[in-house]
Amino acid sequence: VAAVVQTEDRPWVRVWLPSRAVAGVTAAARAEVSVEGLDRRLAGRLEDVAREPEFTPHYALTERESAHLVYRARIVLTDAPADLRPGLPARVKLILPRRAASDG
C-alpha cells in the first residue's frame, strides 16, 4: 500500500486500502510501516477507515490498482522517531489475523 507520512500532534500515515482488503480489516489492526530513508520498520495501528470508497489517487497508483476503488485510511505510528519529516513516501503492511479453515 502506498502512503505518505503526515505529522501534526502525532505522526501518522495516509493509506488507500483496496476494496477487497477492507472486509478483513478490523479497528486497531497492527501495521508495519517502511518509510523511505529509514533503516528500520516502524510499528503502527489502524485508526480510521473511510466509510465511502474513492478512486485511487494519482500519486498512489500502481499498475494493478489503477482502476480500482479504494478506501482512505489512517495508520498512527506508535514508535516514530522524533525527527520524522512529513511528506516522506512509505509502504504499509497490515497485519491481519489468520482466518480459520472453517471461516471459508
Instruction: Give the predicted TM-score (pTM) of the model.
Output: 0.75
Q: How many Cβ atoms from other residues are within 10 Å of residue 9's Cβ? A: 5
3 state SS of 104: coil
Please give the CATH superfamily to which domain 2-96 belongs: Efflux pump adaptor protein, beta barrel domain (2.40.30.170)
Digit-coded pLDDT (tens) for 1-22: 556 777 777 899 998 888 777 8
Q: Distance from CA of residue 45 to its chain's centroid?
A: 9
- Render the burial of 64-87: b for 16+ CB within 10 Å, e for the rest: ebeeeebbbbbbbbeebeeebeee
| Confidence tier at 56 by pLDDT (50, 70, 90) | low
The span from the CA of 56 to the CA of 45, in Å, is 22
User: What's the N-to-C CA distance of the chain in angstroms?
Assistant: 25
Cα separation, 6 vs 77, in Å, equals 10
pLDDT digits (tens, 9 = 90+) for 76-93: 999 999 888 888 889 999
What's 78's DSSP letter? Answer: S
